[in-house]
Amino acid sequence: MDQIRQQIEALREQLHEHNYNYYVLSQPQISDQEFDRLMAELIRLEAQYPEYADPNSPSVRVGSDINKSFNQVAHRYPMLSLQNTYSEGEVSEFYNRVKKSLNEDFEIVCELKYDGTSISLIYEEGKLTRAVTRGDGQKGDDVTDNVRTIRNIPLILRGTEVPSYLEMRGEILMPWNSFDELNRERAAQEEPLFANPRNAASGTLKLQDSRVVASRRLQSFVYYMLGESLPTESHYENMTLARGWGLNVSSAMQRCQTLEEVFDYLRFWDRERRHLPVTTDGVVIKVDSLVQQRNLGYTSKFPRWAIAYKFNPEQAETTLESVSWQVGRTGAVTPVANLEPVLLSGTTVKRASLYNEDAIHALDLHIGDKVYVEKGGEIIPKITGVDKDARFMLGDKVTFTRNCPACGSLLTRNEDEAVHYCPNSAGCPPQIKGRIEHFVTRKAMDITIGPETISLLYDKGMISDAADLYSLQFNDLAVLERWGETSARNLLQSIEQSKSVPYERVLHALGIRYVGETVARKLAHAFPHIEMLMSATVEELTAVEEIGGRIAQSVTAYFSSADSLLFVDRLRKAGLQFTLSEETLADRTDKLSGLTIVISGTFALHSRDEYKKMILQHGGNNSGSVSKKTDYILAGENMGPAKLEKATKLGVKVIDEQTFLEMISL
């Protein structure tokens, strides 16, 4: 067994080193395939020998789909915000205040202010033990499991001179390429888009499923060191040492001797920030000496030794040439402004989002208007204003179309939504093609066919929905223009392989509105056979954790449609999976069938997450809140008083761990 343990530790050491080379030094030493091979071997050995588990193993980078509620943790050192400044004059005032207060020489450190979500990383004996969000500055959420999936945050620090207790303050970011990919996926599913990478990073960090967090490729920059025994009294020197320990410290950090050097830094990065792979919204200016920082102290809200200089948002002026309309797979009709090309944030902008009818009215747009455009983190930029003083010989006022631009159907709009829809889901070509495009995506059925091919097959009458893909014939495909036997064979092979895609992804592929990848997984595990999901009521659906009324109503509406039922039946006959795998079902029972159980408090025998899994495993529903539909509350120590009060009022039975375990062992 010693040999196995040594093998596991050697793999961990190799993978930690390769993570450092790739994510911190940007100097990979092995191929991605070799890295994946080493990781797969480590995961296999750790599963086979769980006695050698380690929370800081590189394998935690892949995340887990086990839900975890976040505990509130008090900060040892309060996480204060910084006072913002918006002009060089205000920077001068700060510099002169520091100079007057210290009455001695001092140096300033300038650092880029990354636009993400703040985090506190705690290392004990060189190992990451906890990661906590800013919260209210005094306490925050423990998001350690999610942070462990971020590959440029070291789980174990390098070197021998690391303090025994170390707290690193930093920022969690979503790079532009990850953000754009995420919003493209959400747009394809017609889910709400994230407004900017900061919101996307913050939302991702608070997800309950760390496997999803891992897939979104977040990054981190650290910018401050705290602890009782820091290596030096210089902030700059401490951060340089932190870089050597494997932490990701910005290479843009600069120590300045004079105010003019500070201004040079601000002006340089105001120009160059557009070329960075992550978002920045300013520069943080700090006194370098920790002794001088302590002498300067704090106001009630801010440190006196630092300020944040904020950049003005990038904006460009151009001409609105026309407005076009896009139809999505759910029938949502979106207006898009077509612009005279203009350079913005290093790219040429030709289109901008107009969102919906309300946004068009608010801008009072006319064709030919001079408009202001910002690239505020959207897939395509947005129009933020109109130069009405520049109007001359106005063109037509922009009004929202009343008919579908693709099929001519009269559009509808729900009272509580800003979006217009084309109701002709069965006959509107963009909707049909969009549903097929969604069906074949990598996270759904993973069929290697692109939008152009889908459009070609649809236009030639070879497919009218995704189920028709499973009826395609080799001879029909091989004779298509620019096709051949190899292309035809590859597509049919990919279609055949999709029949083994698990139920969770098939459910996602159906394209039910609001049912994305994560929701599909939750529904599949709560309703392990498609027949169970088809017959589920809104009440039964909302009893599933994180399934709200809007999702529940969308699911029931989908399965109440005769067309949807026929579509699912055709897919089933084609051989697709509409049941959880036998391996997953093997341990399932119906001992808790029809019961809704709320978990509250802390437990001695099993974790909350293990109890959640047991409830689902035995056919029950786990809910996060007490209602008249609740059958039991599984209560541990320190049960929430509000839940206890509501349970008493509603007559809900409260059971302890032992009683619950007896229920599922009978």
* Class of domain 72-310 as given by CATH: alpha beta
Superfamily of domain 429-500, CATH level 4: 5' to 3' exonuclease, C-terminal subdomain (1.10.150.20)
pLDDT in tens, 545-572: 678 888 999 999 999 999 999 999 999 9
Residue 65 pLDDT: 40
Which residue would you say has higher pLDDT here, 135 or 368?
Answer: 368
pLDDT in tens, 525-534: 889 899 999 9
Instruction: Decide yes or no: CATH 1.10.287.610 for domain 2-62.
Output: yes
Phi, psi of 174, deg, nearest 5: -110, 115
Entry pTM:
0.54
Specify whether the CB–CB gap between 149 and 213 falls below 8 A. Answer: yes
pLDDT band at 378 (very low <50, low <70, confident <90, very high): very low
Helix (H) or strand (E) holding 493: helix 485-497
Superfamily of domain 316-413, CATH level 4: Nucleic acid-binding proteins (2.40.50.140)
Residue 380 pLDDT: 65
CA angle 267, 291, 266 (to 5 degrees): 5
Q: How far apart are CA 223 and CA 230, in angstroms?
A: 15
For 88-102, 117-131, 247-261, 652-666, which range has the lowest pLDDT when averaged over its residues?
652-666
Active-site residue flag, 113: yes
- Residue found under tokens 């996060």: 624
Instruction: Decide yes or no: CATH 3.40.50.10190 for domain 588-666.
Output: yes
Bridge partners, 234 (sequence order): 289
Residue 349 pLDDT: 84
Residue 67 pLDDT: 40
| Chain centre to alpha carbon of residue 538 | 27
Q: How far apart are CA 63 and CA 336, in angstroms?
A: 38
Q: What share of the chain is helix, strand, coil (3-state, %, to 5)?
A: 40, 20, 40
Which residue would you say has higher pLDDT here, 623 or 472?
Answer: 472
Residue 377 pLDDT: 47
Q: How far apart are CA 375 and CA 381, in angstroms?
A: 4
Domain locations in the chain?
Answer: 2-62, 72-310, 316-413, 429-500, 588-666
For 265-274, 298-307, 389-398, 579-588, which range has the lowest pLDDT when averaged over its residues?
579-588
Q: How far apart are CA 431 and CA 424, in angstroms?
A: 9
E runs forming strands in 316-463: 316-327, 332-344, 347-353, 370-374, 382-386, 412-413, 420-421
**CA distances in angstroms from 268 to 112, 176, 253, 280, 310, listed in the order given:** 11, 21, 13, 13, 14
pLDDT in tens, 8-65: 888 888 877 777 766 556 566 776 567 767 777 787 777 777 777 777 777 765 554 4
Residue 552 pLDDT: 93
Catalytic choice (113, 375, 643, 646): 113
Asked whether this chain's domains 2-62 and 72-310 adopt the same fold, the reply is no
Q: Which residues of 75-105 are buried (b: 16+ CB within 10 A; e: fewer)?
A: beeebbebeebeeeeebeebbeebeebeeee
Specify whether the CB–CB gap between 153 and 137 falls below 8 A. Answer: no
Look at residue 302 and tell me whether its pLDDT is greater than 70.
yes
- Would you put residue 156 in left (φ > 0), alpha (ψ -120 to 50) or beta? beta
pLDDT in tens, 187-217: 776 667 777 788 888 888 888 778 888 888 8
pLDDT in tens, 484-516: 899 999 999 999 999 999 999 999 999 998 898
Specify whether the CB–CB gap between 660 and 621 falls below 8 A. Answer: no
* Mean of per-residue pLDDT scores for the chain: 87
> Which residues fall within 8 angstroms of residue 18, CB to CB, at 6 or more apart?
28, 29, 30, 35, 38
Joined tokens for residue 317? 């002026």
Residue 138 pLDDT: 83
**CA distances in angstroms from 498 to 118, 185, 442, 474, listed in the order given:** 41, 20, 10, 17
For 325-329, 371-375, 582-586, which range has the lowest pLDDT when averaged over its residues?
582-586
